[in-house]
Structure 1
Amino acid sequence: MKDNGQGPPNGPDARPALEALEAAAKKSFWGYLGFELVTAEAGKAVIALQVRPEHLNMAGIVHGGVLASMLDNAMGLVAILACPGDGTVTTGLNVHYLHPSSEGRLTCEAALIHRSRRTLTLEGRIADNKGELLAWGSGTFRRVTGL
């Protein structure tokens, strides 16, 4: 998305831009894992994942790497929307695993909590379809021009 000086897409005209972003993401690791965009607006986003057998570890619960990737992707989406025209990269990711899950639909809510000239700090929460908090994480992202 190009920087039009107005920040991330919002309002009734935002959906096409977000759908284009999601379509591009489907060709990446995002699509391989099966993430779906639920909502996105300035400073926050929600993504979802329908748990499939390949998301499980040998103990039969969702693999911690899948949960970490979900947090990273949701927070990364918020960072991308906060920095139109620039690239963003993850520079730090902290994950706290709180409760196991093995089936159903997971949702991850991510929010921007601090921004400086070059760095963004975000937090994310993953819950199952019963509302149980499965994981909480924080991440730092750096703006990178020229990506």
Structure 2
Amino acid sequence: MPAPDWAALVAAYNRINHYGQANGMALSVPAPGQAEYRMQIRPDHLSSPGTAHGGVVAGLMDAALGAAALTLAFTSGEFVSTVEFKLNYLHPVRLAEQLVARAQVEHTGNRLIVSSAVIFRIESDGPEMAVARGLGTFNRYPADKREFGQLLMG
């Protein structure tokens, strides 16, 4: 399979990723095996006054871990699905905060890919603060030409 057109694949994935769209998440791919997701906490992400629901952070983590694995799987004509992931919440996340999740593949095997990520709160006047850390395992499975074609054509 020829080398993937990363810009086209990321644009196509952003187009079909309704979960990411609904939650205001923006994906970028620095390199195969790496992913970065950004989002801002909105009122519909809150579970108590001013504080984001843990599921919002978990959703961002799963998306980032999976995107890192997916970018590597794309290079061999494969897709991935989550097998499991572990998440450590380090600090609460509040309304209007900007988050960035940075993920990278730690291990790739014939059937599984393991990736890790850290979600940071972006501070305008200081260093980033880690608010969560995660580790995920993803199943690799072959994508047929039709699936890749549908992804690119949207």
Short-chain TM bin: 0.7 to 0.9
Matched residue, 1:100: 92
Measure how far apart 1:60 and its partner are: 2.5
Answering whether residue 85 of structure 2 is matched by residue 88 of structure 1, we say no
Query: Which runs of no fewer than 5 residues in structure 2 stay unpaired?
Result: 148-154
Equivalent pair of 2:34/2:71 in contact (CA under 8 Å): no
Question: SS of the residue aligned with 1:114?
Answer: strand
In structure 1, the gaps of 5 or more residues are none
**Match for 1:121: what amino acid?**
V
> Aligned residue for 1:126?
119
What displacement does 1:115 show?
Answer: 0.7
Q: What does 1:1-147 align with in structure 2 at a 5 Å threshold?
A: 4-6=1-3, 9=5, 14-25=6-17, 28-84=18-74, 85-102=77-94, 103-130=96-123, 131-145=128-142
* Alpha carbons 1:93, 1:140 under 8 Å: kept: yes
Question: What percentage of aligned pairs have identical amino acids?
Answer: 28
Name the CA distance, whole Å, in 1 between partners of 2:137 and 2:29.
21
Query: Quick check: 44-53 or 14-23, which moved more?
Result: 14-23
CA contact (8 A) 2:10 2:28 kept: no
Which letter does structure 2 place at the counterpart of 1:99? H
Q: Do the aligned partners of 1:40 and 1:78 also contact (CA within 8 Å) in 2?
A: no
The count of residues paired between Structure 1 and Structure 2 equals 137
AA of the residue aligned to 1:133 = A
TM superposition shift of 1:93: 0.7
Match of 1:77, as an amino acid?
A
Q: Distance in 2 between matches of 1:91 and 1:77?
A: 14
CA distance in 2: counterparts of 1:115 and 1:5, whole angstroms? 20
4+ residue runs over 3 A deviation: none
After superposition, the CA RMSD in angstroms is 1.7
